[in-house]
Amino acid sequence: MSRNPLFEHKAAQVSLSELIEAARNREIVTSIQTPSATVTHSAKQLYATDRRVQELLQSISSGKEVPRYPVKNGLLFYQTRDDENARLVIPDNEDMKNRVICENHDVVTAGHPGYFKTYLGVQKKYYWPKMSKYMQRYVNTCERCQLNKARQTKPPGLLQPLEIPGGRWVDVSMGFMIALPSTETGNDAIMVMVDRLTKRAKYIATNTNATAEETAALFMDNYVKDHGVPKSIISDRVSKFTSKFWQEVIKTLETTHNLSSAFRPQTDGQTERTNRFIEDYPRGVVNPFQNDWDEYLHLSEFA
């Protein structure tokens, strides 16, 4: 419509004071929260079963001044300040409380929010003693929340560090860096081996498509030849390390092979940290085409 040349729009002249007054009225309207008709009807009927509410209503009807508890149309409300919305007092009835919470938690428009958001929605219109603890227990025991929501807390349990190796190049961690720029010799991956005691690393250029047999040959030529058979190996769960051939190699060498937990790179954090270094180092020395990084791998071990 705004692009129609025949459309004539005449702006209304509104003063600043009128705009301010309109904004104030809007805030008042949007802040008004009224209980639903079904809740007010049920609350009035259940007041007779709540001794505390009955005592308050009797005191008010006898003319006694009861601060913060106004009565409107036979309904008891709770209001701490004059400028605060009066909240309907909910009788001590579990079904009634659950129905009120359901309006702000279980329905489709609520979307099963967390405890605090649920509490904010309920406390705008309703009140009962210790409602915060009640709602927290309700949300924490909601079956759908437990099944469908992701954990928002820290991982449980204490840290369990790996046992300190008894010597150099006795226990080693291994991993791969893949999807690197292809070099002139066809390498596009790096096999990383780190001594868990001295933190010294070895970087061997390889190919992403290298088989388990070729990976085992690289391990024999670059590790076993210089340092002997390791006592233990920690690696991620790539197919090269989980294949039947590699497992047979490990079995023949009588070496313990520990796989990191799925989606938990912290298990082999030492190799992950080394990978970050080898990602940064070649950037400062490779040619503009980035196809000669494998020529500098042996130098990066001393950097």
Which CATH number is 225's domain given? Answer: 3.30.420.10
Flag whether pLDDT at 265 surpasses 60: no
- Going by pLDDT thresholds of 50, 70 and 90, the confidence category of residue 20 is low
Quick: pLDDT tens for 70-117.
Answer: 999 899 999 988 878 899 999 999 999 999 999 999 988 888 999 999
Q: How many domains does the chain have?
A: 2
Domain that holds residue 116: 32-146
Residues 242 and 193 placed together within one structural domain of the fold: yes
CA of residue 294 relative to chain centroid, distance: 38
Using the structure block, give the residue that is written with the tokens 């309904």.
75
Q: Is position 279 within any domain?
A: yes
Q: What is the mean pLDDT of residues 253-261?
A: 67
- Going by pLDDT thresholds of 50, 70 and 90, the confidence category of residue 302 is confident
Residues 117 and 228 placed together within one structural domain of the fold: no
Residues 238 and 289 placed together within one structural domain of the fold: yes
pTM (predicted TM-score): 0.46
Q: Which amino acid is at 29?
A: V
Q: Is position 27 within any domain?
A: no
Flag whether pLDDT at 249 surpasses 90: no
Q: Is position 6 within any domain?
A: no
Predicted confidence at residue 94, as pLDDT, reads 94
Q: Is position 70 within any domain?
A: yes
Residues 81 and 184 placed together within one structural domain of the fold: no
Residues 53 and 90 placed together within one structural domain of the fold: yes
Q: Is position 20 within any domain?
A: no
C-alpha to C-alpha distance for 281 and 52, rounded to whole angstroms: 73
Residues 142 and 187 placed together within one structural domain of the fold: no
Residues 91 and 187 placed together within one structural domain of the fold: no
* CATH number of the domain bearing residue 119: 1.10.340.70
Residues 68 and 186 placed together within one structural domain of the fold: no
